[in-house]
Structure 1
């Protein structure tokens, strides 16, 4: 009888929820990530070997450059600056701190930050390997200043913005407000990333490929994190 009463008084184990409960989709997340990496890398190598495709890409940037509006240029330049690597890191850390402060869940905040970082940083490997030059500033009516000299494909700014947006959507997973978060995050991400071809710092294909990368890499990062790291930090009560 005493054993039975003790069992009744023992609080049930609290299972991870939301972003921390991605375990049931781990296999799908890993497959999505692998497919995205292969597609983005293969497309990048194909593009740098196809001058005709780059000419078409440049024509779009040239048309956007001719259509520059002072207000839109200022907004686009601000977006480009906000999501520069240094500011992107600070923004991610602030969001992590906010998550921990609001939810009182350190693992949730750390998971969010880790997923964004794991999705974003490896894109630089593809950037280095593909080594696609930036759009030729000399052929743009209003080139961006200062000139960007690092490789163009994929767009690191776009990868970060898209990864952040998808991570926010997954953070709200299972909540009543997730549809609102999803709509806002997607719209903001598309508007912000469109600024980069508009400024002439990236080709449109750089941005599209980066969106594909993030769409696959965020589920991959979260799946691996929840499979390898999270079980080692989950303490049963």
Structure 2
């Protein structure tokens, strides 16, 4: 692979977020197949709740320390804190790489993958598990649909993008470990505190695994080059 110059830095293959794929078709086909399959499973679980018994068993473990830790983790990634984490991580990624393209790819990868999962919720419209009044007060109202889990989708998307950003660095192993801990931790948390069924959490992981590669490839092959050309054209016009 070769590097192409652009305003604000190089679109360099040394960062996996920006490395062009050999073809956009394959990840796009996988992404479409994943979307169709996940939504189909969600509709099935809505009317045939196969995961309810397991989810109830986990929710009623009565492990106080586990429940407290799960509540704290869940609260830490409510929409407002999650937005703050995204902003900080995006700025850090851009500054460390010294490329605005990396920051755009980081933010866009998480936001688009997560946002599409949130949109799928509206299609499936699976009701949330019934929560006690005490639990509702602890974690807040959860009126939006249940499938797939938005918290797990955000965490998995963040983990995938972080791992991708670190893939060609010496921090790759750390990125993988952190990502696995985050995803497993949030998946267990949402079931333990009873805000999601187990199928909701698993569906979010499958969603990110199938959709993010297409989002990354599309950004690297279409969005970033378009942005670079637009900036170059703007700079050229100003220089006249």
Post-superposition CA distance 1:108-140 (Å, at most 9, x none): 0111001100000121221111110111226x9
What is the deviation of 1:26? 3.2
Residue 16 of structure 1 pairs with residue 16 of structure 2: no
Listed one character per residue, the Cα deviations across residues 3-42 of structure 1 (whole Å, up to 9, x for unaligned) are xxxxxxxxx9555222101333533322221121111111
Structure 1 contact 65–143 (Cα < 8 Å) conserved: no
User: Which of 117, 139, 158 pairs up with 1:123?
Assistant: 117
Match of 1:210 in 2: 204
What is the 5 A alignment of 1:89-168?
A: 89-137=83-131, 143-145=135-137, 146-168=140-162
The residue aligned with 1:6 is none
| Residue matched to 1:3 | none
Let me know the Cα RMSD of the aligned residues. 2.3
**Correspondence for 2:52:** 58
Contact 1:132/1:151 (<8 A) preserved: yes
Number of residue equivalences: 220
Q: Flag structure 2 segments of 5+ consecutive residues without an equivalent.
A: 233-240
The correspondence for 2:171, drawn from 172, 177, 180, is 177
Partner of 2:39: 41
Matched, 1:79 2:77: no
| Structure 1 CA distance for aligned equivalents of residues 94 and 71 of structure 2 | 31
Q: Could you say which residue in structure 1 is the equivalent of 2:25?
A: 27
* Bigger Rg over Cα: 1
The answer for unaligned runs of 5 or more in structure 1 is 1-11
TM-score normalized with structure 2 length: 0.83
CA contact (8 A) 2:148 2:204 kept: yes
Aligned to 2:213: 219
Take 1:117 and 1:131, find their aligned partners in 2: how far apart are those partners? Answer: 21
Secondary structure of the structure 2 residue equivalent to 1:182: helix
Normalising to structure 1: TM-score of the pair? 0.84
